[in-house]
Amino acid sequence: MSIYRPKEDVSDREFLIASMTTSNWFNEIRERCGGSTRTRIARSELGKMKIPLPPLPEQKAIARILSTADTAIHTTEKIIAQKELRKKWLMQQLLTGKKRLKGFGGEWKEYSYEKILKVIKRNFDWDENELYKLISVRRRSGGIFYREALYGRQILVKTLRTANEGDFLFSKMQILHGASALVTKEFDGRRFLAPI
């Protein structure tokens, strides 16, 4: 590890910090490290690195603008986090009946899932040579995502099902971790593994 300090008559510290996060900076470091396996850079090589510098007043102005942008991003992230917490609280209140909407009354009744959902098994003609673009469900209500695409011959579990827009998918193996989702238009007609 080596220690350096900016020469204040030539460079602004905040401008340098921002410059050292750019892809140009990392690309030059990679080149000077000699490629793939070496992860160290010699002090002599570090000293030869070039960085584009405008005049000092412009460096300071750029650093201020970037700092303002960082502050705005941080503030926005905090607002989003607060809104997400507020939504979770509201969901807890509304979806359990603890809080009722104005104009609505009556008892809430409990139903088993088998009373409100029906199991759908869409069969299709299996083809060992077809490339199936498979989907699955993320944990923590993270939605549906594309898994790897496999040819029929590569799939060991031969019970694939077809999901259509508007279906609910539940992962029997990961339901404890919130792996369930509504099939959106993007995933309509896609296949998923359905272990017995």
Q: What is the pLDDT of residue 38?
A: 58
Report the pLDDT value the prediction gives residue 141, as an integer from 0 to 100.
82
Per-residue pLDDT of the chain (196 residues), as tens digits, is 667 788 888 889 999 999 888 888 888 887 777 665 656 777 777 778 888 899 999 999 999 999 999 999 999 999 999 999 999 999 999 998 889 999 998 899 999 988 999 888 887 788 899 898 888 888 888 889 998 888 989 988 778 888 999 999 888 878 888 888 999 999 998 888 776 5
Our measurement of the distance from residue 49's CA atom to the centroid of its chain's CA atoms, rounded to an integer in Å, reads 34
Read off the pTM: 0.55
- Residue 30: how many CB atoms within 10 A of its CB? 14
Handedness of CA 50, 55, 60, 61 (dihedral sign): negative
DSSP state string for 52-113: ----HHHHHHHHHHHHHHHHHHHHHHHHHHHHHHHHHHHHHHHTTTSS--TT--S------H
**Nearest 10 degrees: Cα torsion 33, 34, 39, 44:** -30
Nearest to 188 by CA among 164, 167, 168: 164
pLDDT score recorded for residue 70: 95
10-to-59, 60, 129, 180 alpha-carbon distances in Å: 10, 11, 65, 57
Q: Which tokens belong to 102?
A: 């104005």
35: left (phi over 0), alpha (psi -120 to 50) or beta: left
Q: In terms of residues, how long is the chain? A: 196
Q: What are phi and psi of 23, to 5 degrees?
A: -65, -30
Chain-centre distance for alpha carbon 30? 27
Q: What is the predicted pLDDT for the residue at 37? A: 60
3-state secondary structure of 136: strand
- Confidence (pLDDT) at 195: 61
Q: For residue 81, what pLDDT is reported?
A: 97
